Amino acid sequence: MPDPAARDAAEEASAFSHPAVAPDATAAYGDHPDQVVDFYAPRDGRTRAPLVVALHGGAWRAPYDRQHLTPFVDFLARRGFAVANVEYRRGSGLPHQGGTAPVAGRWPETFDDVAAALDAVTDLAAAHLPQADPRRTVLTGHSAGGHLALWAAARHVLPADSRWRLPAPPELRGVVALAPIAHFGRAVELGVCGGAVTELLGGEAEYAARAASADPAVLLPTGIATTLVQGREDVVVPYAVADAYAEAAAKAGEEVGLTLLEGIGHFPLIDPAADACAVVAEEIAQLAW
């Protein structure tokens, strides 16, 4: 049996070994420098293609931005998709007093940005990525970005007084969430990403009140086709988190797909050199085409 930590380190090194890929266009959805979307045209020259909106991971922490997702985004563009790679505000680059890792997320700005980006992306794509067909939009995200993808698809299920609530379901073909932090209760139990979930919500004092508007596992059913792709050997966001979300969905009367990849950890899902990345592209294609 390979050492789990060694496997994870090797997979992370492979995923992060690819150079960043420059976009074909960039557009702002707000005034903050992080409120931007990068657009990638389908590399096969097609004039109309499904739009994949991608949200990067990194535990909602500042050191991880959209650049590390660009090899994966380019991989999708080479598969014939039009892609929008969304940036959003994350936590401070400094840890809390006594902490060791940068703060995870900004409340409410992280959620403000994802909501604003998704509200604007159709018009931005029309101006900057004319090959994109917004009628065939699939939302995807990795890790913390997988959480944000699930959350963005559930905004019509938010509490009635939520600032992010939509009056109707978003126009999506579906969601493909990759190793998502999909169930906050289970993630907190497992200490995922060093307590990042609690930090995202502003600390323990705010957790219970804010989780009702932020935890995808309580924003069910959505009525939107949803698939989770998860590595069984993931030690960053263990598959028990995805499993707990799928179980919560079933209890809410909704069937969620769960593709569990044997012998795979956290990072191959976004690594163009890994077979798992091709599985992800196929899951997206099944919803988009």
Q: What is the pLDDT of residue 218?
A: 98
**284 Cβ contact list (under 8 Å, min separation 6):** 52, 76, 81, 138, 140, 176
Q: Is 282 helix (H, G, I), strand (E, B) or coil?
A: helix
Q: Nearest CA to 266 among 242, 217, 232?
A: 232
**205 Cβ contact list (under 8 Å, min separation 6):** none
Q: What is the pLDDT of residue 176?
A: 99
Q: Nearest CA to 131 among 236, 60, 51, 200?
A: 51
The DSSP result for 91-138, as a single string, is: --SSPPTT-SS--B--TTHHHHHHHHHHHHHHHHHHHH-TTEEEEEEE
Q: Is 45 helix (H, G, I), strand (E, B) or coil?
A: coil
Burial class (CB in 10 A: 0-12, 13-18, 19+), 13: exposed
Q: Is 141 helix (H, G, I), strand (E, B) or coil?
A: strand
Q: What is the pLDDT of residue 97?
A: 45
pLDDT tens, the chain, 289 aa long: 578 999 999 999 999 999 999 999 999 999 999 999 999 999 999 999 999 999 999 999 999 999 999 999 999 999 999 999 999 999 976 565 455 678 999 999 999 999 999 999 999 999 999 999 999 999 999 999 999 999 999 999 999 999 999 999 999 999 999 999 999 999 999 999 999 999 999 999 999 999 999 999 999 999 999 999 999 999 999 999 999 999 999 999 999 999 999 999 999 999 999 999 999 999 999 999 9
Q: Nearest CA to 129 among 50, 54, 44?
A: 50
Burial class (CB in 10 A: 0-12, 13-18, 19+), 95: middle
Query: Phi first, then psi: what are they for 137, rounded to 5°?
Result: -100, 130
pTM for the structure as a whole: 0.97
Q: How many CB atoms lie within 10 A of CB 235?
A: 13
Tell me the one-letter amino acid at 112: D
